[in-house]
Structure 1
């Protein structure tokens, strides 16, 4: 977009707000108009599409504090006129004569200091206010360089199953409908950057990104760890002490048989290969952490059996190494 465009286009009128509108009012107006003229709701309507672009262009400028200030300054100085070169029509001297005491281009402004309009107004356009010969009276404004649009932050909540399998979510972001693909294995609290779904760029620049924060509903059995799934596997004392083959549930409702080695303690992790999350790059495993379950209510026969076991293992000091290490 050129400086001439800023002179000719009334972005406040485009959004239907006053020049002293607050940021909140500008945002509210943009959302309302964007929903009304969005291409998804006006299939094949070229006028609605053009209006949607105008709305986005106006919001990109007025929602940016620095650009809005520059826009207001240019509109105020131009007073709705045009910058033109040559002898025909109103020129820079007509528009800014009061500022320069009626000095002609190339002369000295009031006060006797030397310089030209480039020195005074160049800062408004990043040094790009010049004609073909590097001064006024040529072609007018040089186009500003392309500028990427700013990022937008949003959040969404999904079921655990969707996080494991991957899904597509539909979001309403600043009056726009945005569809985003969520990869399999996304974890609670993870941020996903979706390119090109942020605010529109300026001067042909690319759109910004949508930064999406994911919340995952907890599962009663499984948790996500990268491409792996984790769970706690309770086993009885005799299964841990003597060894056994037990059934382990996997995600989806099936079960698989897993061997528990004799002498297995709580905290040991059993790896069940290929039963985790299938991503585009790999398939994870199911990691089952053994937890030896202690019965709360023993029958008389069970208590007698445990007491017999205690007598049979008297003299075994399982905490000896712990005491020794604590002294070091």
Structure 2
């Protein structure tokens, strides 16, 4: 996305957070909105889908500390009143017309040469260089747009990593001309008017101005025999199958970037990127805390009192966990290195002991005898309790 969009869009407002919000607050706000507006939860709801795309774009910028800093600095520089100035050939620039980088680097509105070409022409005139105004720059290639899509994974797929195939219908390089825009067997020709620069020069009084070449549309090349499939654009819309390599440990709401897998650029220009937002399904057995794998283990009261060895599942098999005698309900046992493997290392397996209560009416005689035996041994469950009388 360009700085032009940064001027026009308030990403903080999209996520419903203040400009001083912490990164953790931004992350929580995005996850909440992503769950509410995810396409899988709102089938056929175009408004929710559009909202999901907008909050994903906002999170991509201000959810990244480095990009957020750049975004804040740029908007502060532009100011609430916007940036304006003079443009080659008259008129004004406004913040909705350009990227600030374009103004100084030769990519102003309509592909004009910006300040560098404007002053280049002026100085050449002053030196008696005629109406040339210096060499123009070729218009910046029209790159493809970024594409957003969603992917739902099971807990195990997300934790272990998986290569998943997704089908995507989007503008892609034409298979007939391989993106050149020219009929197979032919090639685009350098524009004879601008000689491949994409801009031409004109003079107005003492000034020299660069403007887009009207003969080639600012591309610097012409196609005499366009490709019949894409009519010269080098782009067609088709359904592609893309392999998405999901890294181990990916979390719910996380985005995966596939460089160059977005929309194709015009006539072979670079393609945009593909952003895949991951939704992780809940698991009946496992949960996670960062890279730690969490499991609730049902146990009986005698197992807590006497101790036991119990088989517990992990992502890659089962392990035997030793319950120490005298354990208590809610106690957490840790198994080192059997959690989720991430780039920063492998977490632990945390097993929380949960006492399972027998159903009412089950083995009444045995339970009564057990209670009598405890009382006979002098056991009082409320001994030492602050509420005892």
- For normalisation by structure 2, the TM-score amounts to 0.44
Does residue 329 of structure 2 align to residue 273 of structure 1? no
| Partner of residue 170, structure 1 | 165
Aligned with residue 230 of structure 1, among 261, 277, 294: 294
Indicate how the Cα distance of structure 1 residues 169 and 318 shifts in structure 2: closer, same or farther if over 3 A, else same: farther
Is this contact kept in 2: 1:145–1:203, CA < 8 A? no
Higher helix share: 1
Q: RMSD value over aligned CA atoms?
A: 3.7
Is this contact kept in 2: 1:187–1:224, CA < 8 A? no
Larger Rg: 1 or 2?
1
Does residue 333 of structure 2 align to residue 292 of structure 1? no
| Partner of residue 143, structure 1 | 138
| Partner of residue 184, structure 1 | 248
Does residue 203 of structure 2 align to residue 218 of structure 1? no
Is this contact kept in 1: 2:111–2:140, CA < 8 A? no
| Partner of residue 133, structure 1 | 121
What is the SS of the residue equivalent to 1:232?
Answer: strand
Indicate how the Cα distance of structure 1 residues 198 and 273 shifts in structure 2: closer, same or farther if over 3 A, else same: same
Is this contact kept in 1: 2:336–2:347, CA < 8 A? yes
Is this contact kept in 2: 1:185–1:224, CA < 8 A? no
Unaligned residue ranges in structure 1 (runs of 5+): 1-114
What is the SS of the residue equivalent to 2:245?
Answer: strand
Q: Deviations over 1:149-187 (max 9, x none)?
A: 543211112333322321112223324443221011223
Does residue 149 of structure 2 align to residue 154 of structure 1? yes
Indicate how the Cα distance of structure 1 residues 241 and 147 shifts in structure 2: closer, same or farther if over 3 A, else same: farther
| Partner of residue 303, structure 2 | 239
- Compute the displacement of 1:233 (Å): 0.6
Higher strand share: 2
Task: Give distance in 2, aligned partners of 1:146 and 1:186.
Answer: 34
| Partner of residue 261, structure 1 | 324
Q: Deviations over 1:72-111 (max 9, x none)?
A: xxxxxxxxxxxxxxxxxxxxxxxxxxxxxxxxxxxxxxxx
Indicate how the Cα distance of structure 1 residues 267 and 144 shifts in structure 2: closer, same or farther if over 3 A, else same: farther
Is this contact kept in 2: 1:147–1:204, CA < 8 A? no
What is the SS of the residue equivalent to 2:121?
Answer: coil
Unaligned residue ranges in structure 2 (runs of 5+): 1-85, 94-107, 126-130, 171-237
Task: Give distance in 2, aligned partners of 1:116 and 1:221.
Answer: 64
